[in-house]
Amino acid sequence: MVELKTDVLVIGSGAAGMMAALEAAKDGASVILADRSLISRSGATIMAQMTVAVALGSQTPDSAEFHLADTLAAGRDLCDVPLSQLVCEEGPRDILQLDEWKVGWARNDDGSIRQAHAPGHDRPRCVYVDFLSTGPAVAKTLRTRVVRQKEVTRVGDLYITDILLTDGVATGAVGFSLADGRPVAVAAKAVVIATGGLTRLYQRNSASANMGGDGYALALRAGATLTDMEFVQFFPIGHLAPRLVGMDPIMWDPFRYKLGGRLLNAEMREFVNDYGNEEAGTYNVTRDRATFAILSEVKAGRGSPAGGAYLSFQHIPEAELRASFGPVIDKLAANGIDLTQMPVEVAPIAHYHMGGVKVDTAMRTGVPGLFSCGEANGGSNGANRLSGNAITEAFVFGRTAGHSAALFAKAAGNADAPVPAGALELAAAAGPDGGENFAGLIAQLQAVMAADVGPFRTEESLNRALAAIAGLKARLGPVPPGAPGPYNMARLDWFDLRTMLQVAEVVTRCAIARKESRGAHQRDDFPAMDGAFVLHHTVTLAGDDIVLGRTPVEGRTIREVA
């Protein structure tokens, strides 16, 4: 067994995790920043190529209140307003801090930070780094700061299986080293979950391979509450065809709203406004509405050959395309795509999760000593996340969680809780080898979620998914296969499937309970929004049983803000 000790343990090293680690260290805490992969090179941030929403007002007058109004409108009256307000008010501080750290925000001719107009915003509000490099630039900038911070110890290839609890207080975590298989116990005075979302549950997704809902399962098993788990955001224009190698499938969005890329059905007719939208040439419809429009055309038999819609830039002069796309044009040409001569096919792809761990504005989870940040959190985005808010909330929530965790650790003094008996039993267990193909079972789960718990849902499809999940759980078995060892992928797949099945069941049960259509949650059997469901569904565990509850929405509705 490997034993480590720190003041604050941060699990996950995307933007939220690195911000938490930096803030906790700044407050005087020793920090272990742990990740199941390479530090800062896994998760969602490194893959985020587009914009970051923040009310800087650098080129158009703006305010946090205007940003909040757009956030609440996108969230369809389900945003936890204190959390949303925190993002909108604190976001400018962090964007300017990243600017001081030389992240490289694009500039206007006068030297001010350039801001683009993204879907759902009432004005240009989104900063970015040139040519689809925002996420990698953010990750590199934060990684550079982390490496220089001597109070932060970086531990990669560490798979966390469970949070340690002592008398109901989070006192660390246990897991195993992927490099050699040894069990690992990390004693900590405070723990921060920063593990991202759950989009790996779906066949078509824009996430890295480690976004299977780890943080949700860790928090749930530790006694925390989850909220809004039914709301999975599908990015409407994920690349579908022709084959695209070495490029992000969600790259099309900024070019669509910047240049006026047209969404066309099989009849080569624009259709988005047929579904109650008013793009009026601005191409700024929110993601849930665009997803609904595309899939409705496909269901009506007017989809493209690969099962999506056409995205066309053929009406844009070549010089303008080159000026906007820059070197991306040449990468597309290498893939056989000439935007002046052909449309591409796009379709919704699982992209983000609005639900997650229920927290307050200090990022406390309700379990003393356990904090959460970034996409692992639920509530701030309601039923649909506003474009550009993801990295903003990663900064704000990460910094807040790191500060709160450091304060909690300082108050804990020299507490040094022992590792509870049996805590490492699962990580060290050696089960029979050569049985189930757990990677194959993960693929089966992804297919079930895509078919039955995707953008369009019914009572029948959701119950069918629950039955399939129960069948896969029966095949999981009580312990991982084989003996611990270096990069034992069969064991890793077992632990991933354990988490993914639990989280998939939670999402499905919450989707069954919400008998309406709102934002990213669309029920064919309940196609309208219902005022009776202006509430959050919450999830806790009672033993191994999932318990659903209901809580009111905190704060103001969009109508009260506007």
CB 231 within 8 A of CB 354: yes
Spatial distance between the Cα atoms of 374 and 6, rounded to a whole number of angstroms: 22
- What three-state secondary structure class fits 48? coil
Separation in Å, CA 74 to CA 62, 167, 196, 385, 469 = 18, 41, 21, 6, 31
Spatial distance between the Cα atoms of 12 and 376, rounded to a whole number of angstroms: 10
Structure token pair of residue 546: 């999932």
Kindly name the residue from 143, 287, 491, 518 that is annotated as catalytic: 287
Q: Using alpha carbons, select from 476, 479, 477 the residue that is nearest to residue 441.
A: 476
Q: 3-state SS of 504-561?
A: HHHHHHHHHHCCCCECCEEECCECCCCHHHCEEEEEEEECCEEEEEEEECCCCCHHHH
Instruction: Give catalytic status of residue 550 as yes or no.
Output: no
The HSE-up count of residue 386 (CA atoms within 13 Å, CB side) is 33
Please enumerate in sequence order all residues whose Cβ is within 8 A of that of 156, keeping only pairs 6 or more positions apart, or say none. Answer: 13, 34, 35, 37, 38, 39
Q: Using alpha carbons, select from 472, 496, 493, 467 the residue that is nearest to residue 481.
A: 493
Beta-strand ranges (E) seen in 55-182 are 126-127, 152-155, 158-166, 169-177
Cis? peptide before 420, omega within 30° of 0: no
Structure token pair of residue 254: 């900024």
- What three-state secondary structure class fits 499? helix
End-to-end Cα spacing for the chain:
57
Instruction: Give the active site residues.
Output: 287
